Amino acid sequence: MRNMLLGGKLLAVELKDDSIRLDHLRTALQYLQPVSDTDFSRLCDGLNLSVDIQRSEHFTTAQLEKAAALPRLPYSPDVIALLERFKQQGLDLSSQITEPYVDLNQRKGRYHEVVAGVAELRALLSSRIFDQDAAIEAVSDAVMRMNWSELSERPNAIFSFLGPAATGKTYMAQLIGQGLQGYALRAFDMTQFSSEKESFGLVGLRKGFSDATSGQLTDFVKQNPRSILVFDEIEKSHTKVQTALLRMLSEGRLRDEYTGEEIDFRQTIVVFTSNLGSSIYSNRAFAEQARRQPHQAREHLLQAIRQETKIEDGHQVAAIPPEMLSRLAQGSIILFNRLSIDALARIAQEQIQLERKSFQEKLGLMVEFQQLDLLAKLLVLGFAPEFDTRAVKSRLCDQVYDPITDYLLAHADVAVDSVVLTIGSDAQEFLQSQDMQRLPQQLATKHQRVYFRHQLALEGAQLHVTLTDVRIEKLARGEDFLDASGIQVDLPEVSFSQIAGHAQIKARLSETVKLITRREQLKAQNVSVPRGMLLHGVPGTGKTMLAKAFAHEAELPFIACAGNDLLNEAFIRKLFTRAREYAPAIIFIDEIDALPRRGTAGAQADALVNRMLIEIDGFAGGDDIFIIAATNRKELIDPALLRSGRIDLHFEVPQLDKEARRWFIQRMLDRPLFSNQEDLDQLVMLTAGFSGADLEKVNREVVLLALRDGIELIDAELIIEQINTQKYGAPLNLEDGHHHLQETAYHEAAHAVMSRVLLPERRIEQVTVVARANFLGMVSYDNEQQHDYTRNFMFNLTCVALAGRAAQIRRFGEQGLDSGASGDLKQAAHYAWLAIAEWGMDEALYNLAIPELKQHLQRLPFAAQVEERIKLWLDEATRTTASLVATHWQQIERVAQQVLRDEVIDAATLKQLME
Over the stretch 250-273, which tens digit does the pLDDT of each residue have?
A: 999 999 999 999 999 999 999 999
**Residue 137: is its pLDDT beyond 80?**
yes
Dihedral sign computed on CA atoms, order 851, 857, 863, 869 = negative
Torsion over CA of 568, 573, 578 and 580, rounded to 10 degrees?
150
Task: Give bridge partners of residue 535 from the DSSP assignment.
Answer: 630, 651
Range with lowest mean pLDDT among 75-89, 152-166, 608-622, 878-892 = 608-622
CA–CA distance, 260 with 256 (Å, rounded to integer): 5
Task: Give bridge partners of residue 332 from the DSSP assignment.
Answer: 159
Mean of pLDDT values over 16-33: 84
Q: 760 exposed, middle or buried (CB, 10 Å; 0-12, 13-18, 19+)? A: exposed
* Helix axes of 372-381 and 425-433: crossing angle, nearest 10 degrees: 70
The pTM of the full predicted model, rounded to 2 decimals, is 0.51
Which pLDDT band holds residue 629 (cuts at 50, 70, 90)?
Answer: very high
CA–CA distance, 441 with 452 (Å, rounded to integer): 20
User: Could you tell me whether strands 558-562 and 488-490 are parallel, antiparallel, or unpaired per DSSP bridges?
Assistant: antiparallel
Nearest to 553 by CA among 493, 463, 621, 629: 493
Nearest to 539 by CA among 691, 664, 688: 691
| CB atoms inside a 10 Å sphere around CB 911 | 11
Helices and strands (H and E) in the chain: how many = 37, 22
Query: What are the pLDDT digits (tens) for 199-212?
Result: 889 999 988 787 78
Q: Check residue 771 and give its pLDDT.
A: 67
CA–CA distance, 851 with 844 (Å, rounded to integer): 17
- Distance (Å) of CA 109 to CA 115, 121, 885: 10, 20, 117
**Residue 354: is its pLDDT beyond 70?**
yes
Task: Give bridge partners of residue 640 from the DSSP assignment.
Answer: none
Mean of pLDDT values over 696-720: 86
CA–CA distance, 569 with 547 (Å, rounded to integer): 24
Q: Check residue 287 and give its pLDDT.
A: 65
Mean of pLDDT values over 780-804: 89
Range with lowest mean pLDDT among 467-481, 579-593, 793-807 = 467-481
Residue 384 near residue 436 (C-beta atoms within 8 A) = no
- Distance (Å) of CA 79 to CA 19, 25, 43, 717: 10, 9, 12, 100
Mean of pLDDT values over 143-153: 78
- Distance (Å) of CA 345 to CA 130, 339, 393, 453: 10, 10, 11, 19
CA–CA distance, 783 with 656 (Å, rounded to integer): 12
Which residues, including other chains, have CB under 8 Å from residue 713's CB and lie 6 or more apart?
Answer: 673, 674, 675
Query: What are the pLDDT digits (tens) for 455-500?
Result: 999 999 999 999 999 998 766 444 444 444 557 778 888 888 888 7
Which residues, including other chains, have CB under 8 Å from residue 90's CB and lie 6 or more apart?
Answer: none
CA–CA distance, 695 with 37 (Å, rounded to integer): 73
Q: Check residue 401 and give its pLDDT.
A: 92
Q: How far is CA 214 from the centre of its chain?
A: 48
Nearest to 187 by CA among 195, 179, 197, 177: 177
Q: Check residue 695 and give its pLDDT.
A: 84
Residue 767 near residue 748 (C-beta atoms within 8 A) = yes
Q: Check residue 278 and give its pLDDT.
A: 62
Task: Give bridge partners of residue 518 from the DSSP assignment.
Answer: none
- Distance (Å) of CA 746 to CA 22, 602, 814: 119, 58, 15
Q: Check residue 476 and give its pLDDT.
A: 46
Range with lowest mean pLDDT among 123-137, 382-396, 793-807, 870-884 = 382-396
| Residue burial 76-113, b: 16+ Cβ < 10 Å; e: rest | beebbebbeebeeeebebeebbbbbbeebeeeeeeeee
**Residue 90: is its pLDDT beyond 70?**
no
Q: Check residue 36 and give its pLDDT.
A: 63
Residue 556 near residue 626 (C-beta atoms within 8 A) = yes
Query: What are the pLDDT digits (tens) for 274-310?
Result: 988 766 755 666 666 666 777 777 787 888 888 888 8
Residue 230, H or E segment: strand 227-232
Mean of pLDDT values over 21-32: 83
| Triad 485, 486, 487: Cα angle to 5° | 95
Nearest to 269 by CA among 149, 171, 183: 183
Which residues, including other chains, have CB under 8 Å from residue 866's CB and lie 6 or more apart?
Answer: 836, 837, 845, 850, 860
* Helix axes of 133-148 and 111-128: crossing angle, nearest 10 degrees: 160
**Residue 409: is its pLDDT beyond 50?**
yes
* Summary mean pLDDT of the chain: 84
- Distance (Å) of CA 491 to CA 485, 513, 562, 622: 19, 15, 18, 21
Give the whole-number percent of the chain exceeding pLDDT 90.
34
Region of residue 444 (phi > 0: left; psi between -120 and 50: alpha; otherwise: beta): alpha
Which residues, including other chains, have CB under 8 Å from residue 165's CB and lie 6 or more apart?
Answer: 275, 278, 388
**Residue 113: is its pLDDT beyond 60?**
yes
Residue 531 near residue 623 (C-beta atoms within 8 A) = yes
Mean of pLDDT values over 529-551: 89
Nearest to 180 by CA among 229, 238, 130: 229
Residue 233 near residue 164 (C-beta atoms within 8 A) = no
Higher model confidence: residue 728 or residue 275?
275
- Domains in the chain and their CATH numbers? 1-106 (no CATH), 127-338 (3.40.50.300), 341-474 (no CATH), 488-652 (3.40.50.300), 658-728 (1.10.8.60), 737-914 (1.20.58.760)
Residue 651, H or E segment: strand 647-652
What letter represents residue 323's amino acid?
E
